[in-house]
Structure 1
């Protein structure tokens, strides 16, 4: 069994992180008919790596990057009981390393970063029909909260 290490992403990781982004988009396309055809990007990863309000974490096995995730600080709605929360995204584990606990290690690193920022609320979005992702998030403590609905006209 290999040890999974996590660390803050740095600019030298950009090429691998851009590959992961395309992996996320490929995985999510079947769940989202609103995504444009062709190559798209969700994130400005290069900018996020150096942002003070974002923490991108990578997971490594034998010095190879095998997973990623980020936490981004967001202002909460004024009617909520917390002023700031962390929004998680960019959660990806390389296909050949799934089922090894990579996502759990990334989540722990992101939760530690959130705690260091005095954040008590963490949120993320997941497609309703993406059962494997939902199970992975529930496994690390997330609970379903709100359903976002849409309609094409």
Structure 2
């Protein structure tokens, strides 16, 4: 049985493992990542913030997926003041392909809507075709491509 719920401080050790899973999954897409251990997120702080939500998926009491949404200010030229930025999206390898990412995103969209946010954004590496397809299936569309030049 799958349960989607808000994460708690008791989940921190597993959430930190998920974060490292994200780092390792994204390393092949970004040659600028340092080889040393690092953190993308301050997960403990995120768990305390009112402008941020972390949700997890449990299967038979085991945490198997996560995602987050945080409120970001829009740019002065946007027609919205704030938006939800999704991140920390992770599904344990053994549980991929079972619709857990969709359930996590649905929960984060509900949270975003409860905060009055109609704009939702996320970032994904342009070569991560599986993730792009998954997010497009949900309804996300690309709007900007970040480019770089390495000399």
- 2:130 corresponds, among 124, 128, 132, to 132
> How many residues are aligned here?
151
Query: Unaligned 5+ residue runs, structure 1?
Result: none
Following superposition, the deviation at residue 145 of structure 1 comes to: 1.1
Query: Corresponding residue for 2:67?
Result: 69
TM-score by length of 1: 0.97
TM-score (structure 2 length as normaliser): 0.98
- Whole-Å Cα distance in 2 between the matches of residues 110 and 139 of structure 1? 16
**Stretches of 4+ moved more than 3 A in 1?**
none
Tell me the CA shift for residue 139 of structure 1: 1.3
Aligned counterpart, 1:13: 11
For structure 2, the residue ranges without an aligned partner over 5 or more in a row are none
Give, in whole Å, the separation in 1 of the partners of 2:40 and 2:112.
Answer: 22
Per the TM alignment, residue 40 of structure 1 is displaced from its structure 2 partner at its CA by 1.1
Say if 1:4 and 1:105, in contact at 8 Å, map to a contact too: no
Report the Cα distance in structure 1 between the residues aligned to 2:57 and 2:137, rounded to whole angstroms: 18
